[in-house]
Chains A and B, each alone.
Chain A
Amino acid sequence: MIAKRVQQIPSSGIRKFFEMVIGMDDVISLGVGEPDFVTPWPVREACIYSLEKGYTSYTSNWGLQELRDEIAQAIISDYGITYSPEDQILVTTGVSEAIDLAIRAITNPGDEVIVVEPCYVSYSPCVVFAGGKPVPVATDSSNHFKVTPEQIRDKITDKTKAVVLSYPNNPTGAVMNKKDLEAIADVIVEHDLIVISDEVYDKLTYDGKHTCFASLNGMQDRTILLNGLSKAYAMTGWRIGYAASTPEIIGAMLKIHQYTMLCAPITAQMAAIEALKNGREDMLAMVKEYDRRRRLIVKGLNALGLDCIEPKGAFYAFPSIKSTGMSSEKFAEKLLKEQKVAVVPGNVFGACGEGFIRCAYATSRDVIKEALERMETFVSPKS
Chain B
Amino acid sequence: MKEILEILENDARASIDEIATMTGVPKSQVEKAIKEAEDKGIIRKYKTVIDWDKAGEEYVYAIIELKVQVERGTGYDAIAERIAKFPEVVSARLISGDHDLSLLVKGKTMKDVAFFVAEKIAPLESIQGTVTHFILKTYKQDGDIFYEKEESKRLAITL
Contact = CB atoms under 8 A, between A and B. Distances in A.
Nearest to A170: B159
Nearest to A36: B152
Contacts of B159: 33, 120-121, 170, 344, 348
Contacts of A344: 157, 159
Interface in B115-159: 150-152, 154-159
A27 B3 CA distance: 32
Interface string A293-311: 1011001000000000000
A27 B158 contact: no
A249 to B, nearest CB: 27
19 contacts: A18-B157, A21-B157, A22-B155, A22-B156, A24-B156, A27-B156, A31-B156, A31-B158, A33-B159, A34-B158, A35-B152, A36-B154, A236-B154, A292-B7, A292-B23, A295-B22, A295-B23, A296-B22, A344-B157
Nearest to A31: B157
B24 interface: yes
Interface string A264-293: 000000000000000000000000100111
Contacts of A292: 7, 22-23
A172 to B, nearest CB: 14
B21 interface: yes
Contact of B157 (A32, A37, A288, A365): A32
A6 B130 CA distance: 76
Interface in B15-58: 18, 21-24
A365 B22 CA distance: 10
Contacts of A113: none
Contacts of B150: 38
Contacts of A288: 3
A32 B156 CA distance: 6
A21 B18 contact: no
Contacts of B23: 292, 295
A29 B18 contact: no
A37 B22 CA distance: 19
Contacts, number: 54
A263 B90 CA distance: 54
Contacts of A38: 150-152
B8 to A, nearest CB: 12
Interface string A1-34: 0000000000000000010011010010101111
Given A21-B157, A120-B159, A292-B23, 9 more contacts: A18-B157, A22-B155, A29-B157, A33-B159, A38-B152, A293-B22, A295-B24, A296-B22, A342-B156
Given A32-B157, A33-B159, A348-B159, A295 B21 contact: yes
Contacts of A120: 159
A198 to B, nearest CB: 13
Contacts of B7: 292
Q: Say which size band chain B's interface belongs to.
A: 10 to 19
B22 A22 contact: no
Given A292-B7, A292-B22, A295-B21, A34 B156 contact: no
A34 B158 CA distance: 8
B21 to A, nearest CB: 5
B70 to A, nearest CB: 38
A33 B21 CA distance: 23
A292 B22 CA distance: 4
Contacts of A36: 152, 154
A34 B152 CA distance: 10
Contacts of A291: 22
B79 to A, nearest CB: 38
A252 to B, nearest CB: 27
Contacts of A34: 152, 154, 158
B22 A32 contact: no
A235 B154 CA distance: 11
Count chain A CB atoms within 10 A of each CB in B150, B151, B158 and give the residue with the most.
Answer: B158
B159 to A, nearest CB: 5
A22 B154 contact: no
B101 to A, nearest CB: 32
A296 B152 contact: no
A32 B154 contact: yes
A170 B158 CA distance: 12
Interface in B55-80: none
B156 to A, nearest CB: 5
A21 B22 CA distance: 29
A21 B154 CA distance: 13
A288 B152 CA distance: 19
Of all A-B residue pairs in the complex, the 9 with the closest CB atoms, nearest first, are: A31-B157, A292-B22, A21-B157, A29-B156, A33-B158, A21-B156, A295-B21, A36-B152, A33-B159
Contacts of A33: 158-159
